[in-house]
Chain A
Amino acid sequence: MIIRRDFVNKLLEDRKDNLRVISGIGTSTWDLMSTGDEKNNFGFIGAMGQALPFALGLSIAQPDKKIVLITGDGDTLMSLGSLATIANHPVSNLTVIVLDNESYVETGSQPTATAGKTNLELIAKGSGIENTYTIFERTDDYKVLKTIYEEDGPSLVVVKCKAESTPLIFPHSFDGVTAINRFKDTM
């Protein structure tokens, strides 16, 4: 079983300068912030469902950067339509990583649709995102790195991970203006 925080830290351990990482609301942002106070990251703390279209807009505007969105199954389920938008306005530099723990851990671990019959990889595929797969074990970490840096996107990787609450690691500022200005300055 994949421990999401360990996975995210390993994924971003030797990150390249051309990488920009967005995280979706909730635990994904605490996961991203646990990798360090990094100007090349921007974490959502609200506006649930907006991280996917934000990542698409950024990918269109910055075609020479590698854009990674790290988000959860809950956030992704709220913006399934964006998978179709991404597929039909393809951006080769975008990788979406869904940390799928099948639950809304932040609010008391209520099950999401992926705990039931819903499969996000199949939805992504059906939406038209061709490069999509699911990993269940850390032995597949290297595949995800290859997808981010070497393969043509858009790509979507479902990372099946353990549902557990983890310590909250806050960003350097909760102020949106401070956060976006710092991130924008890296472009």
Chain B
Amino acid sequence: MEKFSKDWRNDIYDVFKNIGISLVSHIPDAGHTPLIDLCEKDNNIDVVTLTTEEEGVGLSCGAWAGGKKSALLMQSSGVGNCINALALPNICRIPFLTIVSMRGEWGEFIPWQVPMGLGTPKVLEAMDVKIFRVDYKDEVGETVNAAANFAFNTRKSAAVLLSQKMIGAKQFKNG
């Protein structure tokens, strides 16, 4: 992993391929959409659309028990849904990797996104999940690579927080 391309979603996809992730689950977020598309086009990656983010925790853990590496993609609001589920990888020391697109922190338009956006790092820390924040596009690949290695090599939980500043705040128009 020496060079990373300009499109940071491609960089995440390349890391997935390099470390052998073959199962990706998600509740979609606009920030993740190009990455989800890349994974869906790949015959060697199984993509599972969830009904709630916490399912992705159990799914990842079961897949790991069966010898498959996976990643959960979600928006920051989904992190709150995962709290009790995170006890599973924690107590069993199952590697768990999630890539979180942040909302409610930089130029947010929708006030309802703010509480969980502010709560996301605290919630993850409370459940002993190591946070890897990334603010710049050219650091996405190396950060996801570092987080994945941390998770799978040390059998711990890792979350990459893709900052809203980097993704770009979605602006809404009435009417």
Interface residues of A (CB under 8 A from B): 22, 42, 46-62, 65, 79, 81-82, 84-85, 88-89, 176-177, 179-180, 183-184, 187
- Which of A52, A56, A177 is in CB contact (< 8 Å) with B93? A177
Q: Which residues of A contact B61 (CB under 8 A)?
A: 50, 54, 57
Our pick among A42, A79, A81, A82 for the contact of B65 (Cβ within 8 Å) is: A42
Secondary structure class of chain B's binding surface, majority of residues: helix
**Chain A residue at minimal CB-CB distance from B47:** A89
Given B50, B51, B68, B91, which contacts A46 in the complex, CB threshold below 8 Å? B91
What separation, in Å, do the CA atoms of A48 and B93 have in the docked complex? 17
Contacts of A60 in B (CB 8 A): 23, 46, 48, 59, 62-63, 66, 68
Report B's interface with A, CB cutoff 8 A: 23, 46, 48-52, 54-68, 70, 84-85, 87-88, 91-94
Our pick among B51, B68, B85, B93 for the contact of A47 (Cβ within 8 Å) is B85
The answer, among B51, B58, B85, B93, for a CB contact under 8 Å with A57, is B58
CA distance A180 to B67 in the complex (A): 12
By a CB distance below 8 angstroms, the chain A residues around B87 are 46-47
New A-B pairs, 15, CB < 8 Å, besides A60-B46, A85-B51: A49-B54, A53-B55, A57-B64, A57-B70, A58-B63, A61-B65, A61-B68, A62-B67, A65-B66, A84-B51, A85-B49, A176-B93, A177-B91, A180-B93, A184-B65
Find out whether the CB atom of B68 lies under 8 angstroms from the CB atom of A85: no
Residue contact A50 to B49, C-beta cutoff 8 Å: no
A85 in contact with B48 given A60-B23, A176-B91 (CB within 8 Å): yes
Chain A residues within 8 Å of B67, by CB: 61-62, 184, 187
CA of A82 to CA of B87, assembled, Å:
18
A58 and B59 alpha carbons, distance in the complex (Å):
8
Knowing A61-B65, A62-B66 are in contact, say whether A81-B58 is a contact too (CB < 8 A): no
Within the complex, the shortest CB–CB distance from A148 to chain B, in Å, comes to 18
B84 CB contacts on chain A under 8 angstroms: 47-49
Q: Indicate if the CB atoms of A54 and B52 lie closer than 8 Å.
A: no
Determine whether the beta carbon of B94 is less than 8 Å from that of A53. Answer: no
Whole-angstrom distance between the alpha carbons of A46 and B84 in the complex? 9
Question: B91 near A82 (CB under 8 angstroms)?
Answer: no
Specify the chain A residue showing the minimal Cβ separation from B55: A53
Q: List 18 A-B residue pairs with CB atoms under 8 Å apart, sorted by A's residue number.
A: A42-B65, A50-B54, A50-B85, A50-B88, A54-B88, A57-B61, A57-B62, A57-B63, A60-B23, A60-B62, A60-B63, A61-B63, A79-B55, A85-B51, A176-B92, A177-B91, A184-B65, A184-B67
